[in-house]
C-alpha cells in the first residue's frame, strides 16, 4: 500500500499535507507524533473512513495493489472490507459475540461455507476463542475491555481483509491486556499488513517494523497548523539514529 502526495482537508482546513509513505506487505508500521498532527486523519484516509465525515477531502493518491482507492468506480464498502479498522475504544455491537463476528460476512454477502467455522477461526486468530467458546450467544457488551478489543480485531478479520488499521488500540486497556494485543499483532502480521497509531513509544519500539514520525507544522503567515511527515524508516533507525532533530526531540521526550 502506498500513499502518494496526500493532503487531507476538513473544509478549508488542511489537516495533513504532502504525505508520501509506503507500507510493507506483512509488516507493522507505527504512526507516531504529538496530538493533533493528523495521525488519525491519515489513518482514516487509508480506507476511506474520512468519506463518512462531512467536509473531509483527500487529495493525492492512495494506491492499494497499484490501484488508487479514490478512483471513480471504486466501491468504498469494498475498500473497507479489504482494509479493516480497529478503534481506540472497543466498540462491539450490542449483539451476541457470535453475531458480532458474523455481521461483516453477512452484510457484505461473503460466500461462507460454514459461518460457525468462520466465527471460530476469527476468534481463534484473535486469541479469544478459548475465553468465549462456551458463551457465543451472550452479549459482547459483557466482555472485559481487553476481550472486547480482541473481539473487535476478530470482527475486523472475519471479512478476510489484507490490511488492518488500528488507531491507538490499547489506549483504554491495562498493561496485561495491552501485552496480549501486542502479542496478537505479532501473530497477525504473518497474514496481514498492519498500520498502528500509538502514543506509546515503547509500544512502537516493541511491535513495529517501521515507524513514521509526524508533527504539526505551524505556518508563519497564518498560524495554521498542518500535519507533516517528518521522517520514516525502520523502527530501529527512527529510535536509535533519527535523521531529523524534531524526531530526536520527540522520542527523547524533549518535545513540548
Ligand X SMILES: Nc1ncnc2c1ncn2[C@@H]1O[C@H](COP(=O)(O)OP(=O)(O)OP(=O)(O)O)[C@@H](O)[C@H]1O
Q: What separation in angstroms does the CA of 243 have from each of 232, 236, 239, 246, 248?
A: 10, 12, 10, 9, 8
Please report whether residue 36 would count as binding ligand X according to CB under 6 A. yes
- Decide whether 40 or 45 has the Cβ nearer to Mg ion: 40
Binding ligand X by CB under 6 A: which of 25, 52, 53, 107?
53
Q: Are 32 and 11 in contact (CB under 8 A)?
A: no
At residue 90's C-alpha, the angle toward residues 84 and 95, to 5°, is: 90
207 and 178 in contact (C-beta within 8 Å)?
no
The least CB distance from residue 23 to ligand X, in Å, is 17
81 lies in the site for ligand X, by CB under 6 A: no
Beta-strand ranges (E) seen in the chain are 2-10, 13-22, 28-32, 56-64, 67-68, 83-86, 163-167, 193-197, 210-218, 225-234
Among 17, 38, 69, 154, binds ligand X (CB under 6 A): 38
| Among residues 2, 9, 10, 115, the one that binds ligand X under rule CB under 6 A | 10
Q: Is 40 in the site for Mg ion (CB under 5 A)?
A: yes
Q: Give whichever of 49 and 118 is closer to ligand X, judged by the CB atom.
A: 49
Question: Rounded distance, CA 212 to CA 60, Å?
Answer: 19
Per-residue mark of binding to Mg ion, 179-208 (x: CB under 5 A) = ------------------------------
| Residue selected from 37, 97, 102, 119 as contacting ligand X according to rule CB under 6 A | 37
Give the binding range for Mg ion (CB under 5 A) out of 34-42, 66-74, 134-142, 235-243.
34-42
Q: Give the total of residues touching Mg ion (CB under 5 A).
A: 1
Cell numbers of 196, please?
Answer: 498502528
Q: Whole-number minimum distance, CB 37 to ligand X, in Å?
A: 4
Site track for ligand X across 168-207, x = CB under 6 A: ----------------------------------------
* Strand, helix or coil for residue 186: helix
By rule CB under 6 A, what count of residues binds ligand X? 11
Give CA–CA dist 7/45, Å, rounded. Answer: 10
Task: Report the residue number, 53 or 107, with the smaller CB distance to ligand X.
Answer: 53
Q: For residue 139, give the 3-state DSSP assignment.
A: strand
Say whether residue 122 binds Mg ion (CB under 5 A): no
Largest CA distance in the chain: 62
Query: Min. distance of Cβ 89 from ligand X in angstroms?
Result: 12
* Residue 47 contacts Mg ion per CB under 5 A: no
Q: DSSP states of 67-119 as a string?
A: EETTSTT--HHHHHHHEEEE-SS----SSBHHHHHHHHHHHTT---S-HHHHH
Among 1, 6, 21, 41, binds ligand X (CB under 6 A): 41
Binding site for Mg ion (CB under 5 A): 40
Give the interface with ligand X as residue ranges (CB under 6 A).
10, 15, 35-41, 53, 227
Amino acid at each position: 500500500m502506498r500513499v502518494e502526495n496526500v493532503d487531507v482537508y476538513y473544509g478549508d482546513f488542511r489537516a495533513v499535507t504532502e504525505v508520501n509513505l509506503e507500507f510493507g506487505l506483512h509488516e507493522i508500521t507505527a504512526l507516531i507524533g504529538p496530538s493533533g498532527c493528523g495521525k488519525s486523519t491519515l489513518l482514516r484516509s487509508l480506507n476511506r473512513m474520512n468519506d463518512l465525515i462531512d467536509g473531509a477531502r483527500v487529495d493525492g493518491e492512495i494506491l492499494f495493489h497499484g490501484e488508487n482507492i479514490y478512483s471513480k468506480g471504486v466501491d468504498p464498502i469494498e475498500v473497507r472490507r479489504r482494509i479493516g479498522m480497529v478503534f481506540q475504544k472497543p466498540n462491539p455491537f450490542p449483539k451476541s459475540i457470535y453475531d458480532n463476528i458474523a455481521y461483516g460476512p453477512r452484510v457484505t454477502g461473503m460466500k461462507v461455507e460454514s459461518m460457525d467455522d468462520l466465527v471460530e477461526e476469527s476468534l481463534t486468530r484473535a486469541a479469544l476463542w478459548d475465553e468465549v467458546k462456551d458463551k457465543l450467544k451472550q452479549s459482547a457488551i459483557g466482555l472485559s475491555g481487553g476481550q472486547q478489543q480482541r473481539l473487535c480485531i476478530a470482527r475486523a478479520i472475519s471479512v478476510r481483509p489484507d490490511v488492518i488499521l488500528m488507531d491507538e488500540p490499547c489506549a483504554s486497556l491495562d498493561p496485561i491486556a495491552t501485552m496480549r494485543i501486542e502479542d496478537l499483532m505479532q501473530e497477525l502480521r504473518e497474514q496481514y499488513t498492519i498500520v498502528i497509531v500509538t502514543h506509546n513509544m515503547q509500544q512502537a519500539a516493541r511491535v513495529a517494523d517501521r515507524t513514521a514520525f509526524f508533527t504539526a507544522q505551524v505556518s508563519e503567515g497564518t498560524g495554521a497548523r498542518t500535519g507533516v511527515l517528518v521522517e520514516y524508516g525502520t523502527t530501529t533507525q527512527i529510535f536509535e539514529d533519527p535523521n531529523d532533530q524534531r524526531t530526536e526531540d520527540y522520542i527523547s521526550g524533549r518535545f513540548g
